[in-house]
Amino acid sequence: MKKLFSLAIVLLLIACSSKKQEEKEVALAPAWEPQTSNTEASLRGLSAVSDQVAWASGSGGTVIRTVDGGATWTDVSIPGQENIDFRDVEGFDANTAIVLSAGLPALIFKTTDGGQTWEQKYFSDIEGTFYDAMDFWNDQEGIAFGDAIDSRLLILKTSDGGETWNELPFEQRPVSKPNQGGFAASGTCLRTNGESNVYIGLGGPEASLFYSFDKGETWSKTITPLQSGEPTQGIFSIDFKSEEEGLMVGGDYRGDSLTRINAAYTTDKGESWFPVMADLSPSGYRSGIAVFDETLILAVGRESCDYYRVGDDAYTPMEGQYYAVSVSKQGKSAWTSGPSGSVAKLVFK
């Protein structure tokens, strides 16, 4: 009888443990928890710094910042820039950030006091100038790119934390196809990776990827399988799980229903890309993708969002409609931003 009683206790403990494990797995489903941004701007620039700090930027010269995990967002917009669209932002800490405009004039501003004051670090009013995105390898070295002028992409680089920006000589810039350009949809069609790698995704007549392993001094090109052929189609966002493994997403920004091949992957540092099987792909057009702690992939789009957890059979839908997604440098927090001032933080519930 004593042995039977002990066995019953063991079985009960196992059952309780299994039940708790099941509840834990259910509770850990990722979700976007909306926050109040206090703006109606279209927010395509986004930079998660830590669990407490994030920056976002967008239309109407808007720049906002949180330093309390999103409980409050503060407007730190640059005075006099109400007609400018800041399509990308890079936050370094609670006080330091850089914003990049799209269209004319082409502008880069930097703050070191939490957005109380801003200093202009770059200006261009050359006809045809349109910058799409920027990214940094570290707190000193960064790169930005824009659509081609005279068939070659615009490339800007900084080596002093954005204090000064220098244009790559014309003959060193990547040559794009006619009517081809980038998509300033989330600030992530350009992505740095590792100590010296950088990638630029384009669309239009061809879903081209330019890549460099020497911080943008020399470039190579590969053609990816993402949907292309129309001005609205191509590569919209790139991210890497490691130096070798990466993902890209895109499609047709006119809508989910018009999107077919919207995801591809690489296992050789971006030199070659392969389409993700249709039944394993995100469910529509995606303008942003980010790898969260190497086990979770977050994909966002104007009409729908989803996630993929390592080991899953397919992407799982998430509530929300967003443009950009950003994971903090430590990989422990993530934010998303989108139309009408929408911002949200990643939670598990």
Residues 264-308 pLDDT 10s: 999 999 999 999 988 889 999 999 999 998 899 999 999 999 999
pLDDT(212) > 90: yes
Parent domain of 207: 31-348
pLDDT(91) > 60: yes
| pLDDT at site 26 | 54
Any domain includes 3: no
pLDDT band for 1, please (50, 70, 90 cuts). very low
Q: Give the separation between CA 296 and CA 310, rounded to whole angstroms.
A: 6
| pLDDT at site 280 | 87
Any domain includes 20: no
Any domain includes 17: no
Phi and psi dihedrals of 23, rounded to 5? -65, -40
Return the number of other C-beta atoms located less than 10 Å from residue 161's C-beta. Answer: 18
Any domain includes 335: yes
57-80 residues labelled b (16+ CB within 10 A) or e (exposed): bbbebbbbbbbeebeebeebbbee
pLDDT(74) > 60: yes
Any domain includes 11: no
pLDDT band for 6, please (50, 70, 90 cuts). very low
Residues 237-250 pLDDT 10s: 999 999 999 999 99
| pLDDT at site 294 | 82
What value does the mean pLDDT of the chain take?
Answer: 92
Count of structural domains, the chain: 1
Residues 22-49 pLDDT 10s: 444 454 899 999 999 999 999 999 999 9
Q: Look at residues 252, 235, 251, 256 and name the one whose alpha carbon lies nearest to residue 321.
A: 256
Any domain includes 5: no
For range 72-77, the mean pLDDT: 98
State both tokens at 250: 């895109």
Asked if 108 contacts 116 with a C-beta cutoff of 8 angstroms, the reply is no
pLDDT band for 331, please (50, 70, 90 cuts). confident
| pLDDT at site 7 | 34
Any domain includes 184: yes
More confident residue, 18 or 37: 37
Q: What is the pTM of this model?
A: 0.91
| pLDDT at site 223 | 98
| pLDDT at site 263 | 97
pLDDT(20) > 60: no
Q: Look at residues 144, 106, 136 and name the one whose alpha carbon lies nearest to residue 123.
A: 106
Residues 123-172 pLDDT 10s: 999 999 999 999 999 999 999 999 999 999 999 999 999 999 999 999 99
Any domain includes 2: no
Give me the percent of the chain exceeding a pLDDT of 70.
Answer: 92
State both tokens at 334: 């993530």
3-state SS string for the chain: CHHHHHHHHHHHHHHHHHHHHHHHHHHCCEEEEEECCCCCCCEEEEEECCCCCEEEEEHHHCEEEECCCCCCCEECCCCCCCCCEEEEEEECCCCCEEEEEECCCEEEEEECCCCCCCEEEEEECCCCCCEEEEEECCCCCEEEEEEEECCEEEEEEECCCCCCCEECCHHHCCECCCCCECCCCCCCCEEEECCCEEEEECECCCCEEEEECCCCCCCEEEECCCCCCCCCEEEEEEEECCCCCEEEEEEECCCHHHCCCCEEEECCCCCCCEECCHHHCCCCCCCEEEEECCCEEEEECCCCEEEEECCCCCCEEECCCCCEEEECCCCCCEEEECHHHCEEEEEEC
CATH code for position 150: 2.130.10.10
Q: What angle do CA 111, 116, 119 make, to 5 degrees?
A: 40
pLDDT(18) > 50: no
| pLDDT at site 2 | 39
